[in-house]
Amino acid sequence: EAQVTQNPRYLITVTGKKLTVTCSQNMNHEYMSWYRQDPGLGLRQIYYSMNVEVTDKGDVPEGYKVSRKEKRNFPLILESPSPNQTSLYFCASSSAPQYEQYFGPGTRLTVT
C-alpha cells in the first residue's frame, strides 16, 4: 500500500529537549516536505527536499533541521524545542512539488 508514515503520532516534551520526528514514504518519490498546521493559518511549509542530499528552507524554517540521506526518509529535527513549536506536523511526498502531495497521518507535538 502506497503510504507516508510518521512517528511518533503524539509527543509531549519539555523545552530544550532535542527530538526527531521520522517520516518515510514507499512510493519512490523524489520530493518530500514538512508542514506545520496551526488553527487559522493552514499549512505552512517548514523544509523541503527535491532529492537525496538536497534540502532547502520553506516558509517557517527557524528552529528546525532536516536531513535526506535516503530517498524514502526525511526526518524533522528540533534541536531545542520551544513552546511556540507546539503544533500539528505533517510530512508529505510527491513525484514533483507541483503535483499531488501524499500526506502522512500527522504528529501532534506539545512542548511545555
Partner 1 sequence: GEDVEQSLFLSVREGDSSVINCTYTDSSSTYLYWYKQEPGAGLQLLTYIFSNMDMKQDQRLTVLLNKKDKHLSLRIADTQTGDSAIYFCAGVSSGGYNKLIFGAGTRLAVHP
Strand partners, 90: 35
Indicate the helix (H) or strand (E) that contains 39: none
Tell me: does residue 8 bind partner 1 (CB under 8 A).
no
d(CA 93, CA 77): 18
> Judged by CB, which is closer to partner 1: 26, or 80?
26
Candidate list 28, 41, 51, 82; residue touching partner 1; CB under 8 A: 41
Restricted to residues 50-89, the positions that interact with partner 1 (CB under 8 A) are none
Candidate list 47, 64, 74, 90; residue touching partner 1; CB under 8 A: 90
> Judged by CB, which is closer to partner 1: 4, or 76?
4
d(CA 102, CA 78): 23
Q: Residue 34 corresponds to which cell in the numbers above? A: 514538512
Candidate list 49, 104, 109, 111; residue touching partner 1; CB under 8 A: 104
Tell me: does residue 40 bind partner 1 (CB under 8 A).
yes
d(CA 37, CA 59): 13
Q: Residues 34, 64: contact at Cβ < 8 Å?
A: yes
**Which residues here bind partner 1, judged by CB under 8 A?**
4, 33, 35, 40-43, 45, 48, 90, 92, 96-101, 103-106
